Structure 1
Amino acid sequence: MPIIDMHAHLTPECFRRGVQSGGLWNGMTSSVGELGNPGDSWIVVQRMQEMDSLGIDVQVVSSMCAFYRFEDDLSTAIAIAQDCNNEVAQMTR
Structure 2
Amino acid sequence: MYAERRIALVCTYDSDADAAYIYLDHPVPPGGVQRMVHFDTEEGMYNLDLNAQGHVVGLEILSAGKRLPPTLLRAILNQPQEQTEIG
Structure that is richer in helix per residue: 1
Q: Higher RCO, 1 or 2 (CA under 8 Å, sep at least 6)?
A: 1
The structure with the largest strand share of the pair is: 2
TM-score range, shorter chain: under 0.3
